[in-house]
Structure 1
């Protein structure tokens, strides 16, 4: 008989929770009728964090995807009127991506949908449990600190 693998069980629980979060968020997004996929939603949220319109390469790097994937997402969002391509003022060969007013309105709706999804997911937890979970998730997301020799580089 094999001993239980606690780390394997935790990994499985995290994967199941991730799938549940995606299902719930997708349902909340569909309920709002925005016609935006989760990947497009992520691109819009990322775009909103830039001070000035980024290049597609910047978005691909930030999203950790290949540039072609960003092109496909931008194409769909541009067709829907959520973003537009604009020339870089310093180099006309460079194209930047900016939110439209409709894109900002969609972001507000997306934020409300994500908030509703989070409330649904976290409903079983007390305030203390939520605080504890936040700390634990933060530690997992941030990962272990880099060794001192790597921090100096």
Structure 2
């Protein structure tokens, strides 16, 4: 389920509808895994496949309204959870946490 949600997040952030191969690269998975995730999301009604208008041989993956709603609802839930968790932090503690998380993100292996 986490991998399928990651698929929805990648699609929501994409500037243009990607192909399955492009999704695989963005998600850091192999093409067969991405294809299975897309198929499961199609069956769930969260995405649909469309012919690329620039190249009819190519298929693009597009979020459905239901898929977009899942991403938006989940992001809202995450934001609320973070706000609740940070409720007892002082401004200085929040600033220190932000600095440390930034340092961790910068050092994260890519």
Q: Which residue of 2 aligns with 1:50?
A: 14
Shift of 1:127: 2.9
TM-score normalised by the chain length of structure 2 = 0.83
Instruction: Say which SS state the counterpart of residue 45 (structure 2) adopts.
Output: coil
The structure with the largest alpha-carbon Rg is: 1
Contact kept, 8 Å, 1:57 with 1:67, in 2: the verdict is: yes
CA contact (8 A) 1:82 1:100 kept: yes
Q: How far apart are the structure 2 equivalents of 1:86 and 1:59?
A: 14
Matched, 1:90 2:58: no
Structure 1 stretches of 4+ moved >2 Å: 116-128
TM-score (norm 1): 0.62
Q: How far apart in 1 are the matches of 2:88 and 2:102? A: 20
5+ long unaligned stretches in structure 1? 1-36, 145-153
Q: Give 1:82 deviation, angstroms.
A: 0.9
CA distance in 2, matches of 1:122, 1:58: 36
Distance 1:63 1:54 in 2: 12
- For structure 2, which runs of at least 5 residues remain unmatched after alignment? none
Does 2:83 align with 1:110? no
Q: Give the secondary structure class of the aligned counterpart of 1:51.
A: coil
